[in-house]
Amino acid sequence: MTLSLRRSVTATAGLIAAGWLLSACSNASTQEPGATGTGGTQDSEIALETSNQSVVITNNAGKPIEDVRIAIQPFGNAPAFTTLLKRMENAEKREISLAQFRSNDGTSFSPRLTKARQVSVTATDIVGKKHELTRPWGR
């Protein structure tokens, strides 16, 4: 009986140690620096929605964000169409018309003339943390 008890205690301790080692080796809960909001199932600090008439951006960072740059990258080698927002408060949601996006030469974005490939958002919160998000264009 003692030998059987000793084997079960050893087996249980071995299983606990193996589980501990496997969880310690897993990096699923850690986040790579600079990869905030780039994908995965984790909630993004910036929410982004696109439609055929506007881009909707929501600040979920928990604090105000500043110098928000939204860029629509078209297919091909055309330059990006961008717009800038100076500041967005926490939980603020803004709808930006596609006509507000301009390229470097001042041309406004038109979905009739240009097919969008992706939308990128970059911002900095009030403590200096950078936030980035890139999503494929979807309707």
Question: CB of 122 within 8 A of CB of 132?
Answer: yes
**Quick check: 36 pLDDT over 80?**
no
The average pLDDT across 15-34 equals: 55
Q: Give me the CATH topology for the region 46-136.
A: Immunoglobulin-like (2.60.40)
CA gap 102, 31 in Å, rounded:
34
Beta strand segments in 21-127, E: 46-50, 54-59, 65-74, 81-88, 93-97, 116-125
Domain boundaries, the chain: 1-30, 46-136
Token pair of 62, please? 């928990």
Q: What is the pTM of this model?
A: 0.67
Please indicate whether residue 125 or residue 13 has the higher confidence score (pLDDT). 125
Q: Are 81 and 102 in contact (CB under 8 A)?
A: yes
